[in-house]
Amino acid sequence: MKRNWYAVAILLVLTLLLAEAGRYVEHTTGILQNRIEAAYALAVQGDYPAARQTYEQAAAQARKGGWVLSLLVRRNLLDQLNQTLAVLPPCAEADSLADLEMETQRARTQISQLRQSFFGGL
């Protein structure tokens, strides 16, 4: 009978850990998504220095949370996102707004793929 209680306790702990990991992935990717969208909005308004700074903050956030995310999602998706985020700040210029739009959309898609790589396996 004690083994059943131990099994239930282990299952409960694992469920709580999985829920917390999901919440972390959702929170981290949500912050990245918001920063990228804010940076693009600044670029469209013509505030390119603020847009570059916001894109750099998004890249720093991705690097900061990257080691934890690498435990939870596929590593190659995280590497691709980091490469895209490194390209974004230099694109925040008046003459490369079309490139910026394309790269920003790529980053949005990659963030969505990060979420799906965690939640898709559940």
Distance, in Å, from the CA atom of 76 to the CA atom of 70, rounded to the nearest integer, reads 9
Total count of domains within the chain = 1
Is residue 39 a part of any domain in this protein?
yes
pTM (predicted TM-score): 0.83
How far apart, in Å, are the Cα atoms of 96 and each of 46, 53, 91, 109?
12, 16, 6, 20
pLDDT of residue 102: 94
Domain ranges, residue 74: 25-119
For the chain, residues with pLDDT lower than 50 are none
Is residue 64 a part of any domain in this protein?
yes
The tokens of 71 are what? 């435990």
Reported as a single tens digit per residue, the pLDDT across 36-69 is 999 999 999 999 999 999 999 999 988 887 777 7
43 neighbors 103 (Cβ within 8 angstroms)? no
Is residue 44 a part of any domain in this protein?
yes
The tokens of 66 are what? 């990257």
Distance, in Å, from the CA atom of 17 to the CA atom of 93, rounded to the nearest integer, reads 43
Distance of CA 69 to the CA centre of its chain: 9
The CATH number linked to 92 is 1.20.120
Is residue 18 a part of any domain in this protein?
no
pLDDT of residue 121: 59
